[in-house]
Amino acid sequence: MKIARTIEELDACKSALGNGTLAYVPTMGALHEGHLSLVRLAKEKGDYVAVSIFVNPTQFAPHEDFDSYPRIENEDAKSLEAEGVDILFLPTEDIMYPDGKDSDIKAGSAAKGLETTFRPHFFDGVVNIVNRLFNAVKPDLAVFGEKDFQQLQVIKQMVEVLELPIDVIGAPIIRDKSGLALSSRNLYLSEDELVTSRKLNVVLREAARTSDTEAAEKALLDYGFDKIDYVAMRWNRVLGAAWLGETRLIDNVAVR
């Protein structure tokens, strides 16, 4: 696995690959099985795989966890090497934002509501960085997790509007034995919070069956969640975001 820290190094790594399609997985690191499942799907779909790790400051509000976001670059690099990744791109802030951090593109209508109601800065930050990463990596296809289902819709819309020649592929959510969706933020949960967190998917599945999102919000509070941002139906899914202490968890399930 070649490591690139600048755009020039990235171009050199890409030139060293043979002919074939490049599949790309953008991440913020602290990789778990969920990310590795995206890498495996990327390997299936493309001839070569590039992964980036960049904790993007523009998608965090000042009060959010940008500073404390887990950064375990060496461990991540080992996991990616073991998965047979061809290129690991590790840019710094001055490489990705040489012009400062202003959002040069805005997220489209898919960003309306849900996450945006509670994190108004979030999707503009995501489209800004993903567009910049796409410009740097120039992949043929890119894989994003369905766990961030609204993000996946926002990125698909961005690619369509900007007419980027990139196939955006959604990968199924990876869950632990109890059904908890894997997330880098699960690392923040105490033992007790972990027990409660496992109810999120149970409640969303019930809401997908009954379409009763209000009952779902009440059930989450009864199970011990501290605050519910939303439980809502969209894109034939039930999506939810809820807090346990300082940790915000999101999840979604398909309506059948």
Residues noted as catalytic: 35
For residue 87, give both structure tokens. 């290129």
Told to check if 240 binds ligand PAF by CB under 6 A, we report no
Residue 170 CB, nearest approach to ligand PAF (Å): 12
CA-based nearest residue to 226, from 211, 244, 208? 244
**Given 41, 50, 126, 173, the residue binding ligand PAF (CB under 6 A):** 126
Describe the crossing of helices 213-223 and 199-210 by its angle, rounded to 10 degrees.
Answer: 160
Residue 59 CB, nearest approach to ligand PAF (Å): 6
**Given 10, 22, 28, 189, the residue binding ligand PAF (CB under 6 A):** 28
Residue numbers 38-67 binding ligand PAF by CB under 6 A = 56, 59
Pairing of strands 141-145, 22-27: parallel
**Residue 136 contacts residue 89 (beta carbons within 8 Å):** yes
For residue 96, give both structure tokens. 């990705």
Residue 211 CB, nearest approach to ligand PAF (Å): 28
Q: Which residues contact 114 (CB under 8 A, 6 or more apart)?
A: 150, 230, 232, 234, 239, 241
Applying CB under 6 A, the span of 24-32, 70-78, 211-219, 227-235 interacting with ligand PAF comes to 24-32
**Residue 240 contacts residue 200 (beta carbons within 8 Å):** yes
**Given 10, 31, 77, 129, the residue binding ligand PAF (CB under 6 A):** 129
Of 133 and 203, the one with the shorter C-beta distance to ligand PAF is 133
Q: How far apart are CA 130 and CA 137, in angstroms?
A: 10
Residue 215 CB, nearest approach to ligand PAF (Å): 29
Told to check if 86 binds ligand PAF by CB under 6 A, we report no
How many residues belong to the site for ligand PAF (CB under 6 A)? Answer: 10
Enter the DSSP assignment of 213. Answer: H
Told to check if 27 binds ligand PAF by CB under 6 A, we report yes
**Residue 158 contacts residue 184 (beta carbons within 8 Å):** no
**Given 23, 26, 208, 242, the residue binding ligand PAF (CB under 6 A):** 26
Of 143 and 208, the one with the shorter C-beta distance to ligand PAF is 143
Q: Which residues contact 15 (CB under 8 A, 6 or more apart)?
A: none
Of 183 and 197, the one with the shorter C-beta distance to ligand PAF is 183
Which residues on adjacent β-strands are paired with residue 24? Answer: 50, 142
Query: x/- site string to ligand PAF, residues 130 to 169, per CB under 6 A?
Result: x-----------------x--x------------------
For residue 203, give both structure tokens. 């409640």
In sign, the C-alpha dihedral spanning 27, 32, 37, 43 is positive
Of 171 and 232, the one with the shorter C-beta distance to ligand PAF is 171
Residues that bind ligand PAF (CB under 6 A): 26-28, 56, 59, 126, 129-130, 148, 151
